[in-house]
Amino acid sequence: MTTEDRLKERSGNKCELCAAEGALKVYEVRVTAGSREDNEILLCDKCTKQIEKKEELDSKHWQCLTTSMWSEVPAVQVASWRMLNRLKNESWAADSIDMMYLDDDRLAWAKVSGDHENDSSVDLHKDCNGAVLQAGDTVVLTKSLDVKGSTLNAKMGTVVKNIKLVDDNTEQIECKIEGQAIIVLTKYVRKQGS
């Protein structure tokens, strides 16, 4: 039996945090070195994106944590604790944190990610006007740019299709201009149509 099959059976084929049905995938809850606990849970796309800070937090969606925090599955408890702490400015989340109990080992595991020290803000790729950029979007350059190491000059107003997001830097996108792959700062682009 595969991990996914085992998790589907355990969860009743539902997201282990919000109980959504449909497209579910295995998510690994980061652990401390040497931890032997099962650290995989089954999540819906919305939960995954918001946990990974790829989408703005939807407080109403996360009210499901008031139920999932009582799960007997350690990884679900840890994921619930982490998300509750990201939402701790919400009164319902603060109340839930006060009610929740994790033993010392599980609490140490929950704190590994550092999410409990952060607020609910999410770092997303945004254009010069604050519009959220997604992979595959079309953008327009708002400034003429000289490309380092090249004779290419990308003119203001150039339309660039099918951008890629730089994973580890929300201020950069990757795109092709005149067949050349380059990195452009998001502050110099405007999402087409915004």
Measure the CA–CA gap between 116 and 102, rounded to whole angstroms.
14
Count of alpha carbons within 13 angstroms of residue 29, beta-carbon side: 29
Q: What is the pLDDT of residue 117?
A: 66
Cα(97)–Cα(31) distance, integer angstroms: 20
Q: Is residue 74 within 8 Å of 100, Cβ to Cβ? A: no
Q: Give the span between the Cα atoms of 88 and 94, in whole angstroms.
A: 5
Q: Determine the Cα–Cα distance for residues 183 and 125; give it in Å rounded to an integer.
A: 13
Give the architecture (CATH level 2) of 139-191: Roll (2.30)
Going from the first residue of the chain to its last (194 residues), give the mean pLDDT of each consecutive group of 10, the final group possibly shorter: 89 95 90 65 93 86 95 94 92 94 90 68 80 88 84 86 87 88 90 79
The crossing angle, in degrees rounded to 10, of helices 74-86 and 104-111 is 50
Closest CA to 186 of 118, 155, 148, 140: 140
- Residue 16: per-residue pLDDT: 96
Handedness of CA 78, 80, 84, 86 (dihedral sign): positive
Do 191 and 133 meet the contact criterion of CB atoms below 8 Å apart?
Answer: yes
Please give the pLDDT value at position 10: 93
Q: What are the domain boundaries of the chain? A: 3-117, 139-191
Interior angle at CA 80, CA 77 and CA 81, nearest 5 = 85
